[in-house]
Structure formats: structure tokens, C-alpha cells
């Protein structure tokens, strides 16, 4: 089967399940999107890596990457290889000096590692046919959507002063709420460019 490369195009709250997030993967050079519901911790791990944030202590996926690098294990690609009863299954394609192995993984964990390693993510036509969404071609490249939280979404941030935003950013970084930190940081950036 031919593999189809995907990229992360959005990360946001799931509209179908409370306390969950949706990561939306887009077909590279294509119009199909693959939404996958993931947990809050996994969404945070993906967001931290996407935004190149540096937590004070390594998150679980950072630890996994450090472990793999320490033992000369490379992550070459992630393949979303199955969909059963609404659950996506993935595998990590890894190699060491002596061997190449496929390791079963939750898709959310595989994506968090893929972002950290900068490796490609693939799936198959059959999975996109089952769970994908076809976007209309408006001639514009889609850009990742901003990440907002249920409490304190991007609209609430507009009412705060720049000083209050900086204080809030420090507070959420101390509590390791990186998803909220991204929204605050983006609001601060937007104001500084005006």
C-alpha cells in the first residue's frame, strides 16, 4: 500500500468530547484532513513541541526522546496504520546500528514523538477514506488554527493589559499549562506588532 504523508494543521478542543482535544492532520499537497481525538496531556505534549517551548523539566515525551538518543535509536517515521471501532493505531519505525523495528504506539504519543524528532507522519488511503474529511479547494494553503482553552480562550485575553498578560504567562508556565501559554504568548506578540 502507498503511504500518504500528513502534517499537523490544527490542535484545538474537541467539539465532540469534553475534556478532549482534536489534532487535525492534513494530507501534504492534498485536501483531505484526518481529525483525531486525543487527551489533554497528549495535546499539551504536542503543543509544547510544535511551539518549541522549553519546560523547566523534561516532559514524558522529551524523556523518551532523550532515552532513544542516549542509546542511538533513531525515529524515522510514524505510520497511522489501522482504524478499528474509532480508535487509531500507529507504529513507530525506529532503527539502531543493528536493527530496524516497528513499535506499536498510541497515535497521540506517536505524534508527540514525531514532532520532537521532526520525522514524517504517514497513513493509508483506506484510513483517510474511513475517517478523513475532504476540504474545499479555495486555492489557499491552510494554516494551523490557534490553540485556545475552555477557560480563558483567546477572546478573554483581549480584555487584559499587556502587564496582566505577562503576569498570566508567567503563572501558566509555572503551572506547566503550555497550551494556555501558547494563546497568551500569541496575544502578547499580536499586541507588540501593532
CA angle, residues 43, 44, 46, in degrees to nearest 5: 65
Domain-by-domain residue ranges, the chain? 3-134, 154-192
Check residue 15 and give its pLDDT.
58
Low-confidence winner among 8-17, 144-153, 185-194 (lowest mean pLDDT)? 144-153
User: Cell triple for residue 150?
Assistant: 475552555
CATH class for the domain made up of 3-134: alpha beta
Question: Residue 135: is it exposed, middle or buried by C-beta count within 10 angstroms (0-12/13-18/19+)?
Answer: middle
Check residue 133 and give its pLDDT.
85
What global pTM score does this model have? 0.73
What is the mean predicted confidence (pLDDT) over 21-26?
89
The pLDDT tens digits for 38-74 are 988 899 899 989 988 888 888 899 999 999 999 999 9
Low-confidence winner among 14-23, 122-131, 155-164 (lowest mean pLDDT)? 14-23
Mean pLDDT of all residues in the chain?
84
The pLDDT tens digits for 137-165 are 654 444 434 333 333 444 578 888 888 88
Amino acid at each position: 500500500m502507498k503511504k500518504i504523508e500528513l502534517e499537523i494543521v490544527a490542535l484545538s478542543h474537541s467539539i465532540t468530547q469534553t475534556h478532549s482535544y482534536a489534532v487535525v492532520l492534513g494530507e501534504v499537497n492534498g485536501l483531505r484532513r484526518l481529525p483525531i481525538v486525543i487527551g489533554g496531556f497528549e495535546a499539551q505534549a504536542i503543543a509544547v513541541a510544535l511551539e518549541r517551548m522549553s519546560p523547566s523539566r523534561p516532559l514524558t515525551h522529551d524523556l523518551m526522546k532523550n532515552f532513544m538518543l542516549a542509546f542511538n535509536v533513531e525515529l524515522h517515521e510514524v505510520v497511522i496504520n489501522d482504524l478499528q471501532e474509532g480508535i487509531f493505531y500507529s507504529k513507530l519505525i525506529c532503527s539502531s546500528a543493528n536493527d530496524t523495528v516497528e513499535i506499536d504506539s498510541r497515535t497521540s504519543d506517536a505524534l508527540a514523538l514525531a514532532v520532537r524528532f521532526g520525522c514524517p507522519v504517514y497513513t493509508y488511503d483506506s484510513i483517510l477514506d474511513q475517517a478523513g474529511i475532504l476540504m474545499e479547494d479555495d486555492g489557499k494553503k491552510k494554516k494551523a488554527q490557534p490553540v485556545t482553552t475552555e477557560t480563558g480562550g483567546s477572546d478573554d485575553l483581549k480584555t487584559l493589559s499587556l502587564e496582566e498578560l505577562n503576569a498570566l504567562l508567567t503563572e501558566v508556565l509555572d503551572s506547566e499549562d503550555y497550551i494556555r501559554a501558547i494563546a497568551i504568548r500569541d496575544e502578547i506578540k499580536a499586541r507588540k506588532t501593532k
